């Protein structure tokens, strides 16, 4: 069974152009699925039935997995079982006609504009502070995913015209405006911060840690949490919350939904539309708070 999983992972790497994080997620889902089947004493993929898949999904539900997690796992299993049938590893698709659980819509929490100002108002005195300011300014100016931000290279920058160019999810190219404030912060970091941190190291990654190595996703999470704590922001914070805030604030100021979709790199505009619900919810909250007859 392991051989089929490895062949499938190789297939999605080559054919689908998925990110490393997505591939790791597929790998993890399938390993857990195989462990369940082993407990059920199912040793061949040909012996997996529709009932086997349903039993596994119910098992996930019973162990407290969220609807979103179960939906993602089912998506993985569908793709995998389709692969097995197409490659003649099985004679049937065990995931056929299993409905995806409906995902409950949860509105993303965002920072207010004043909270973003607090977060970004960094008095730069050290190379690390220069790096932190540049990173946070870039995140809020562009709405990048955290993996895209830490993966930026010097070649992705076009500071003379105020843009960055990157290859995002699904190998899609995006060209995103950077804005004057973020451009200035990056220029300052390149002039006075990065080379000091790099010392004698040679690589093209834009944002580095105190050793001069590329900053990791985990490093960025710690960095932004510490910054929020330092300025007294009580909300739970993450790099993705800056992405949510970027999109919400653009729409609140009248940006076109399709332009926001393009900047975020969403393949489906319905994914971007969640932010219109956020802005409506915020307007309703303001109305309830401040209107004398609300």
Pairwise CA distance, residues 124 & 39, whole Å: 57
Q: Where are the domains of the chain?
A: 2-86, 113-290
Which residue spans within the chain are E strands per DSSP? 157-158, 163-167, 173-177
**265-278: pLDDT as tens digits:** 888 887 888 888 77
Asked whether residue 294 carries a pLDDT value surpassing 60, the answer given is no
Helix (H) or strand (E) holding 200: none
Which residue in the block uniquely carries the two structure tokens 């040679």?
Answer: 202
Query: Coil, helix or strand for 92?
Result: coil
Catalytic residues: 145, 169, 240, 243, 266, 275
**241-272: pLDDT as tens digits:** 999 999 999 998 888 999 999 999 888 887 88
DSSP per position, 271-288:
HHTHHHHHHHHHHHHHHH
pTM above 0.75? Answer: no
46-50, 67-71, 158-162, 209-213: segment of lowest average pLDDT:
67-71
81-85, 99-103, 185-189, 202-206: segment of lowest average pLDDT:
99-103
For domain 2-86, the CATH class is mainly alpha
Q: Which of 49-53, 68-72, 129-133, 287-291 is most confident? A: 129-133
Pairwise CA distance, residues 279 & 35, whole Å: 43
- Check residue 287 and give its pLDDT: 60
Fold entry, domain 113-290? hpI Integrase; Chain A (1.10.443)
């Amino acid at each position: 069974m392991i051989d089929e999983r490895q062949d499938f992972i190789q297939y999605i790497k080559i054919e689908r152009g998925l990110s490393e994080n997505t591939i790791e997620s597929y790998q993890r889902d399938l390993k857990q699925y195989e462990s369940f089947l082993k407990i059920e004493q199912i040793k061949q993929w040909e012996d997996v039935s529709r009932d086997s898949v349903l039993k596994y999904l119910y098992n996930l539900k019973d162990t407290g997995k969220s609807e979103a997690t179960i939906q993602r796992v089912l998506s993985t299993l569908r793709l995998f079982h389709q692969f097995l049938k197409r490659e003649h590893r099985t004679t049937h698709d065990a995931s056929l006609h299993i409905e995806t659980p409906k995902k409950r819509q949860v509105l993303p929490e965002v920072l207010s504009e004043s909270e973003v100002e607090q977060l970004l108002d960094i008095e730069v005195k050290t190379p690390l502070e220069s790096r932190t300011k540049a990173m946070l300014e870039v995140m809020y100016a562009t709405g990048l995913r955290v993996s895209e931000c830490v993966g930026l290279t010097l070649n992705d920058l076009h500071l003379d015209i105020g843009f960055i160019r990157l290859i995002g999810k699904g190998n899609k190219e995006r060209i995103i405006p950077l804005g004057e404030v973020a451009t200035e912060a990056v220029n300052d970091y390149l002039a006075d911060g990065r080379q000091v941190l790099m010392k004698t190291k040679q690589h093209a990654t834009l944002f580095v840690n105190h050793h001069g190595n590329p900053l990791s996703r985990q490093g960025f999470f710690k960095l932004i949490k510490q910054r929020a704590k330092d300025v007294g922001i009580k909300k739970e914070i993450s790099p993705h919350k800056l992405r949510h805030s970027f999109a919400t604030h653009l729409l609140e100021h009248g940006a076109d939904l399709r332009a926001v979709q393009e900047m975020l790199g969403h393949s489906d505009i319905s994914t971007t539309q969640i932010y219109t619900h956020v802005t409506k919810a915020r307007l309703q909250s303001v109305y309830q708070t401040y209107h004398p007859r609300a």
